C-alpha cells in the first residue's frame, strides 16, 4: 500500500512538473513540487531497501528454519543413537551380569566337585587302608589257620572210645553240653569234651564249629588240639593247674589282686586279641 501511494505521488509530481513547465503563471510553486518529487523518490528508495531487507530477512528466516529443521533432525538422530547406545550398554551390562552369575555358578559347582573329589579321595584312601589291613589280617588268619591245622589231629571213633576213662577221678566236669574227661589219646594228655548229640543239629554244624575253634589263638584260651566228628568230641590242651572255676571257687587257691594288677591283666587280655603286626 505504501509503495502504491509513493508511486501515485511520484506520478502526480511528474504531471505537475510537466504542467508547470508549460504554464509559467504558477512557476512560483515549482520548488515545492520539486521537494515533493524528491521526497517521493526517497520514499521509493527506502521502500526498495525495505523490500530488499524483507527479502533478505525472509531468506534468512528460511535459512534459519532450514537450519533449525536440520538441527532437529540431527538432534533426533543423536537422541536415537544415544538411546540405542544406552540400550546396547544396558544389554551389554545385563549380558555381563548374566555371565558373571554363570561364572559364579560354575565356580560354586567346581568347589562342590572339589569337595566331593576330596571326600571320594578320602574314602578311597580309607578303602585302600582297609584293604591293606584286611589283606594283612587275612594273611595272618591264613597263616594261623595253617599253623593250627598243622597241629590239629582228627581222631577216629574207636580212638575216642578207647580213651574214655572209667575212673571217676578223670571226670573233670559235666555241663549242659557234655562231659569233660582227662584222657590220653595216642599217648598225649588232653582235656576231651564229649558233646551231647541232642544239643547239635548234625555233623555238618559240628565241623563248622571245629573249623572256627581250631583257628582261635589267645594266651588266655586253651588250644583245640583235635576232634572227632563221629563222636562229637573235642580235644583241648590239658591244664594241670585246674580250671578257671577251680581258681575262683576253691578257698585255698583264691588270691587277692591290687587295682593296678587287675588293670594290667585287663590290658594284657585285650592286647592279646590283636595280631602282633598290628600292635603299636
* Residues in the annotated binding site: 193
Residue that is written with C-alpha cell 591290687 in the block: 258
Query: Nearest to residue 181, comparing CAs of 113, 233, 252?
Result: 233
Q: Which residues are annotated as a binding site for ATP?
A: 193
160 Cβ neighbours under 8 A, 6+ residues apart: 185, 192, 194, 228, 230, 231, 233
Whether 46 and 23 have beta carbons less than 8 Å apart is answered as no
Kindly give the residue spans of alpha helices, DSSP state H, lying in the chain: 2-22, 30-150, 157-163, 203-213, 244-249, 259-271
CA dihedral sign, ordered 46, 51, 53, 54: positive
Cell 550398554 -> residue: 89
Amino acid at each position: 500500500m505504501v509503495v502504491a501511494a509513493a508511486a501515485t505521488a511520484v506520478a502526480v509530481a511528474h504531471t505537475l512538473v510537466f504542467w508547470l513547465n508549460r504554464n509559467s503563471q504558477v512557476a512560483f510553486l515549482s520548488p515545492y513540487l520539486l521537494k515533493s518529487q524528491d521526497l517521493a523518490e526517497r520514499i521509493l528508495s527506502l521502500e526498495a531497501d525495505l523490500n530488499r531487507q524483507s527479502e533478505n530477512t525472509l531468506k534468512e528466516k528460511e535459512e534459519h528454519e532450514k537450519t533449525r529443521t536440520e538441527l532437529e533432525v540431527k538432534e533426533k538422530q543423536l537422541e536415537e543413537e544415544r538411546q540405542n547406545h544406552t540400550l546396547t550398554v544396558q544389554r551389554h551390562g545385563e549380558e555381563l551380569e548374566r555371565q558373571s552369575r554363570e561364572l559364579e555358578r560354575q565356580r560354586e559347582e567346581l568347589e562342590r566337585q572339589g569337595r566331593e573329589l576330596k571326600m571320594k579321595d578320602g574314602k578311597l584312601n580309607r578303602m585302600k587302608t582297609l584293604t591293606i589291613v584286611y589283606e594283612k589280617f587275612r594273611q595272618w588268619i591264613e597263616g594261623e589257620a595253617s599253623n593250627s591245622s598243622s597241629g590239629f589231629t582228627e581222631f577216629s571213633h574207636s580212638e575216642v572210645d578207647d580213651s574214655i576213662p572209667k575212673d571217676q577221678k578223670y571226670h573233670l566236669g559235666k555241663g549242659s553240653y557234655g562231659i569233660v574227661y582227662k584222657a590220653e589219646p595216642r599217648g598225649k594228655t588232653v582235656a576231651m569234651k564229649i558233646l551231647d548229640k541232642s544239643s547239635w543239629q548234625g555233623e555238618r554244624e559240628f565241623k563248622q564249629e571245629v573249623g572256627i575253634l581250631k583257628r582261635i589263638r589267645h594266651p588266655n584260651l586253651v588250644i583245640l588240639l583235635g576232634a572227632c566228628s563221629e563222636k562229637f568230641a573235642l580235644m583241648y590242651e590239658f591244664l594241670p593247674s585246674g580250671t578257671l572255676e577251680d581258681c575262683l571257687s576253691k578257698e585255698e587257691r583264691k588270691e587277692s589282686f591290687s587295682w593296678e594288677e587287675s588293670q594290667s591283666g585287663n590290658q594284657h587280655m585285650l592286647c592279646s586279641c590283636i595280631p602282633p603286626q598290628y600292635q603299636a
